[in-house]
Amino acid sequence: MLQRIHWCQCGQSERKAALQRSDIVTDPALVDRVSQILKQVKCEGDVALRALTEQYDGTLPESWQYDSTALSEAGERLSAPLKQAIDTAIKNIRAFHQAQALPPVSPQIAPGIACELRTEPLQRVGLYVPGGSAPLISTVLMLALPAQIAGCELKVMVTPPPVNDAILYAAARCGIDRLYAIGGAQAIAALAYGTEQVPRVDKIFGPGNRFVTEAKRQVSQQGIAIDMPAGPSEVLVIADELANPEFVAADLLSQAEHGADSQAILVTPSTDLADGVDRALKRQLATLPRAQIANAALRQSRTIVAQDLPEAAAISNAYAPEHLIVQTRDPRALLPVIRSAGSIFLGPWTPESVGDYASGTNHVLPTYGAARTVSSLSLADFQRRFTVQELTRGGLDALGDTVITLAQAEGLEGHARAVALRLSANREGSA
């Protein structure tokens, strides 16, 4: 079912190929198309938004803008169980993100020297919620809740039309100020440059397909802040012979069903487990509504047979998956050697789906191997940190000579003088 690779039999180039995923930056047609869309929106504003929406998403609805009053009305049309599920997810995600608020940092450095690290919310944030192949209600929560907890003044959400009531309800519950029914690269352009109707924002957040992710990459080179490259979903499962093949197959399929460009990788030292997972995949695919999409994703997925679990961990580190699931005898034992993964799910009772929806962690995660250096979305992404300091006369008197010595060692006499003249004034004053 999954293409199988035996790691120990592979040369350097085969190993590299086994861990390859599609890369947006290496597709010149994508780069060109997105660049044209950005230019079109920059020059023509809302006229371009209407034309591009018609081209890619169908007609732009008459009411493509929702203010907070329009958002709050959507709840009346939603079923009670769905509202309840959204509310439970909100409670857990809010709890995890509220706990990330840092206490003020103001250590006593030395007598008369006060240094502080302060944070303040970003003011205007743009939040992209994917909607091309499935309306990602959960992404509304993952973006809007940390923005709300941080205290961002203006929270603008965009998502492709048609926008369903659950998205609107979730947006209202998380304090979204305005929502626009636009998607793709054109929505990113609207947030980056502003149009007659859509306000320009300071930073753009959110996952999306290759068009969205490439648009974020391009606007980030034009001075607009973005969160991270959060493209097509990826999962890597490390499993040993004790893992339940049905669970492993279900976890692989849960990410494969996101899109034909998703990737699901199994790394295992057990060929018996790999055989069992293949059989389970076949069985489960037969009844999966999105089997066609999942099948396409599985065609660019694989099983890698490793010698042992340390080698499996090393393979995972080299791939740097968005999601890593560990289903082994002692999953926590592997944690210290995991170097790069966006989010880690330990044990048989932690399907990746719980993190996607409701356990509390954020599902906006780095893809394309960016997990090597980029973190999962958190409260800090919606804040700006800055330092404050104040020295007393005595504090400067004590530190001044150190600064003068260092400044002169760098050949920066101006810096040294800014201190020296105060020391003289201070010492003359006290003489």
Ligand X SMILES: NC(=O)c1ccc[n+]([C@@H]2O[C@H](COP(=O)([O-])OP(=O)(O)OC[C@H]3O[C@@H](n4cnc5c(N)ncnc54)[C@H](O)[C@@H]3O)[C@@H](O)[C@H]2O)c1
Ligand Y SMILES: N[C@H](CO)Cc1c[nH]c[nH+]1
317-351 residues labelled b (16+ CB within 10 A) or e (exposed): bebbbbbbbbbbeebeebeeeeebbbbbbbebebe
Q: Which does 56 bind (CB under 5 to 8 A by kind): ligand Y, ligand X, Zn ion, none?
A: ligand X
Of 97, 323, 352, 363, the catalytic one is: 323
Residue 423, Cβ density class (10 Å: 0-12 exposed, 13-18 middle, ≥19 buried): middle
Taking alpha carbons only, the member of 224, 114, 133, 108 closest to residue 184 is: 133
Q: Which of residues 350-389 bind ligand X (CB under 6 A)?
A: 363-365, 367
Specify the DSSP class assigned to residue 380. Answer: G
Question: Virtual CA dihedral for 372, 98, 172, 84, nearest 10 degrees?
Answer: 100
Least Å distance between CB 3 and ligand Y? 22
> Could you say which of ligand Y, Zn ion, ligand X, none residue 138 binds, taking C-beta under 5 to 8 angstroms by partner kind?
ligand Y
Q: Contacts with ligand Y: how many residues (CB under 6 A)?
A: 8
Interface stretch with ligand X, choices 227-235, 243-251, 279-287, 419-427 (CB under 6 A): 227-235
Hey, which residues between 80 and 139 contact ligand Y (CB under 6 A)? 136, 138-139
The verdict on whether residue 323 carries a ligand-binding annotation is yes
Interacting partner of 208 out of Zn ion, ligand X, ligand Y, none (Cβ under 5 to 8 A depending on kind): ligand X
- Residue 132 as a binder of ligand X (CB under 6 A): the answer is yes
Piece of 93-101, 230-238, 246-254, 402-410 that binds ligand X (CB under 6 A): 230-238
Q: Check residue 262 for interaction with ligand X (CB under 6 A).
A: yes
C-alpha span between 287 and 33 (Å, rounded): 37
Q: Where are the beta strands (DSSP E) in 332-402?
A: 343-346, 383-391
Give the residues across from 304 on adjacent strands. Answer: 5, 267
Residue 363 binds ligand Y (CB under 6 A): yes
d(CA 98, CA 145) in angstroms, rounded, equals 9
Contact 215, 188 (CB under 8 A): yes
The verdict on whether residue 410 carries a ligand-binding annotation is yes
> Would the annotation count 233 as a binding residue?
yes
Catalytic status, residue 323: yes
Residue 56 assigned as binding residue: no
The strands making up 3-6's β-sheet, listed across from edge to edge, are 3-6, 302-305, 263-268, 234-239, 323-327, 343-346
The residue from 214, 234, 257, 322 that is catalytic is 322
Distance CA 143, CA 381 (A): 10
Residue ranges of the binding site for Zn(2+): 255, 258, 356, 415
Residue ranges of the binding site for substrate: 233, 255, 258, 323, 356, 410, 415
| Chain residues in the site for ligand X (CB under 6 A) | 33, 56-57, 130-133, 136, 139, 160, 183-185, 207-209, 211-212, 230-233, 258-259, 262, 322, 363-365, 367
